[in-house]
Structure 1
Amino acid sequence: MTLEYLQQNRSLLLLECISGSKAYNLELPTSDTDLKGVFVLPRKTLYGMTYTAQVANEKNDEIYYEVKRFLELLEKNNPNILELLSTPQHCIRFRHPLMNLIKPSDFLSKLCQDTFAGYASAQIKKARGLNKKINQSFPEKRKNIIEFCYVVDGLQTKPLVTWLESKGYEQSDCGLARLDHFRDLYALFHNSQFPDVSFKGIYSGDEANDVQLSSIPKGIIPLVILEFNKDAYSVYCKDFASYHEWVAKRNEARYAHNKQLGADYDSKHMMHTYRLLTMAEEIALYKEVRVWRDDRDFLLRIRNGEFSYEQLLEMVEEKMTNMTRLYAESDLPASPDPTLTEQILVRIREEFYV
């Protein structure tokens, strides 16, 4: 089962909707058209050895769920699936009569507190991640090990780079020996002490993850003691790699938008965070999923960077607190009835395959 096959065999569709910003009433001139839907596997495929839970295009802006998978996620109160089931009428491109068997009221439960808040927390994490990366700055080339090394020279400590320059030494002409009972401390020697000996150098190259040791003749006093701040170097390398991975994969249009706004967070992620939490409140209050947003103007103010990062986090925290209270007071069931879910699935398959 593939997306292409489904597109060519539309008789398998139960539901097809425009989703995303156009369904949320958050559409902008630059917004794409996202599609989501529900389908039924051909009977022969269902009875066979393989099961396809969902199909999508490469960008994941067209996603279709097999009815069993759709109901599984619905039973878990997945926000995306609840939104799909409650898509505004004008965004529904096709709806099979069998979809009338699946009613939002049969599935809304107190699980929404955790699923919507969990989804919102993921958006906050993404926004915080961008906040960190926007305020980081890494050059194209990674720092090397010696920039995280220091020496004890007499009664002074100096960066290794400074000490090497003062001596006119190259790191490749130095040798290290481990000091017993001391973590990341080494005795440093130079080949000027041993004209007939070649040392390996302090590190093997710019991609090295640790210093390297050399064979040292016995009875020679080291020039200095070297300390390698390995923990700091490991953190730096991890942040460096993460930053450049983000640069390679980031949405340049969205990044440029946030930079233009002067926002040090992903304003679109934060807009959807606030939207999700508001929808969760509405489920507790009104027992319905309000996909079409009447608070469009306020949400677009968030997207346009009119609030500081700190203000948004305060607003989100207030939402979280209010949501906890609303769900504690709500008479929603703790979770959907799995027996009903199974009955609906069986009936849909029986009637669809007739």
Structure 2
Amino acid sequence: MTISDLKSGELIILECISGSRAYGLDTPSSDTDIKGVFLLPKEDFYGLNYVPQVNNETNDIVYYELRRFVELLSQNNPNILELLNTPEEAILYRHPFLAEIKPEIFLSKLCKDTFGNFALSQIKKAKGLKKKIMNPLDRERKNILAFCFVDYAQGAIPLLKFLEIRKWKQEDCGLVNIPHMKDMYGLYHDADGGYRGIMKDECSNEVALSSIPKDRERIALLYFNKDGYSTYCKEYKEYWEWVERRSEERYQNTLSHGKNYDAKNMMHTFRLLEMAIEIAKEGRVNVRRPEREFLLAIKSGEYEYEELLRMAEVKQVEMEQAFASSILPELPDVERINRLAFELRERFYARK
């Protein structure tokens, strides 16, 4: 099922502008995100064609089937609670029946975890980007030779340096295991090419072992930092996947403010924490943010990363205290929610 199918079949029962434009945090370059709810035809819902979600390729247009929508509301999912509480000016269409799905039916102390954890995830994302910016990886991938070291004089030097000093090729070297010494090998050399080399090819993930005659003299001990190589491979893959899928505009904005962290993630951290505090104290979800100037100041990089972390810790404590004294129920009333979802669907189908 596609978005076109939803529209042509008149299945959409809620459609809203979401994201920065709903929060009141949009700027001239902001995209327009759309979220909504649809109702599957009766035969698809009760048959084998249930579809919980329909979205476009970039996920900036997403529609949830009514059952999935209510399910996520009962879990106090931040994005879905925001959708339910979209400001009137950002609602493109809402079926009158949906007026019965009231926020107070769903709000509970579970929001402390859902909004709080979501906020913390934004900090981790911002920190992850900071690490990638500060530690870029060369496009040319290192091979295992860069993670090998040889005992030399009274210490150790990188294998590549050792080969350079000896004017040897790695293909003319041979390795043998040394029992009881993890990732340690005996290093031998044969200028006539009688060994298998230290690695088979550039893509090798393991060193190559050779059959060495017992009368050959060992040149040195070689250590292969296998754990370090594995970590590097993982980070290399993650880094270049991130480069390929990153928003170039957002990345350039991060570079331009010079703080080396994803300011947009940090902005959402404070938005989520403030919303959680309001939910605990007021029992409502305020999507449009009154602290617009403060949040946009974060987005533009006016604060240092460490300063924001300290401020976020203070807000987190405030959130914990707000929920500790909140009159919200511990969890949503699932039985009531289930009845409501059933009755609404029956009413929708009865009108078809």
Secondary structure of 1:132's counterpart equals helix
Q: CA deviation at 1:182?
A: 0.8
Q: CA deviation at 1:336?
A: 0.9
Residues matched between the structures, number: 350
Secondary structure of 2:59's counterpart equals coil
Q: Which residue number corresponds to residue 72 of structure 2?
A: 73
Distance 2:151 2:45 in 1: 72
Distance 2:226 2:44 in 1: 55
Residue of 194, 197, 203 corresponding to 1:207: 203
Secondary structure of 2:188's counterpart equals strand
- Which whole-Å deviations, capped at 9, do the CAs of 1:240-297 have from their partners, x for residues lacking one? 2211111111111100010011121111111111101100000011111000111100
Distance 1:350 1:152 in 2: 77
Distance 2:183 2:14 in 1: 62
Q: CA deviation at 1:58?
A: 0.9
Counterparts of 1:153-172 in structure 2, within 5 Å, are 153-172=152-171
Secondary structure of 2:268's counterpart equals helix
Q: Does 1:308 align with 2:330?
A: no
- Which whole-Å deviations, capped at 9, do the CAs of 1:300-340 have from their partners, x for residues lacking one? 00000001111111111111111111100011001111111
Q: Which residue number corresponds to residue 148 of structure 2?
A: 149
Distance 1:159 1:352 in 2: 71
Q: Which residue number corresponds to residue 226 of structure 1?
A: 222
Q: Which residue number corresponds to residue 8 of structure 2?
A: 8
Q: CA deviation at 1:140?
A: 1.4
Distance 1:113 1:159 in 2: 51
Q: Judging changes above 3 Å, is the alpha-carbon distance between structure 1 residues 154 and 33 closer, same or farther for their aligned structure 2 residues? A: closer
Secondary structure of 1:36's counterpart equals strand
Distance 2:51 2:208 in 1: 52
Q: CA deviation at 1:88?
A: 0.5
Q: CA deviation at 1:156?
A: 3.9
Structure 2 residue ranges without an equivalent (≥5):
none
- Which whole-Å deviations, capped at 9, do the CAs of 1:186-206 have from their partners, x for residues lacking one? 1111114xx5x6111011122
Q: Which residue number corresponds to residue 17 of structure 1?
A: 16
Q: Which residue number corresponds to residue 346 of structure 2?
A: 350
Q: CA deviation at 1:154?
A: 4.6
Secondary structure of 2:285's counterpart equals coil
Q: CA deviation at 1:145?
A: 1.7
Secondary structure of 1:213's counterpart equals coil
Letter in 1 for 2:242: W
Residue of 299, 320, 324 corresponding to 1:324: 320
Letter in 2 for 1:202: I
- Which whole-Å deviations, capped at 9, do the CAs of 1:216-263 have from their partners, x for residues lacking one? 112222111111122222222221221111111111110001001112
Identity %: 49
Range that drifts further, 266-275 or 149-158: 149-158
Q: Does 1:235 align with 2:234?
A: no
Q: How high is the TM-score relative to the length of structure 2?
A: 0.96
Secondary structure of 2:150's counterpart equals strand
Distance 2:285 2:153 in 1: 71
Counterparts of 1:160-199 in structure 2, within 5 Å, are 160-192=159-191, 195=192, 198-199=194-195
Letter in 1 for 2:8: Q
Q: Judging changes above 3 Å, is the alpha-carbon distance between structure 1 residues 347 and 198 closer, same or farther for their aligned structure 2 residues? A: same
Q: CA deviation at 1:144?
A: 2.0
Q: CA deviation at 1:37?
A: 0.9
Letter in 2 for 1:9: G
Q: Which residue number corresponds to residue 285 of structure 2?
A: 289
Distance 2:301 2:123 in 1: 15
Distance 1:27 1:155 in 2: 62
Secondary structure of 2:30's counterpart equals coil
Q: Which residue number corresponds to residue 129 of structure 1?
A: 128
Letter in 2 for 1:81: I
Distance 2:16 2:237 in 1: 39
Q: Which residue number corresponds to residue 32 of structure 2?
A: 33
Range that drifts further, 228-237 or 293-302: 228-237
- Which whole-Å deviations, capped at 9, do the CAs of 1:11-68 have from their partners, x for residues lacking one? x222111111111000110111111111111112222222111111111111111111
Letter in 1 for 2:117: G
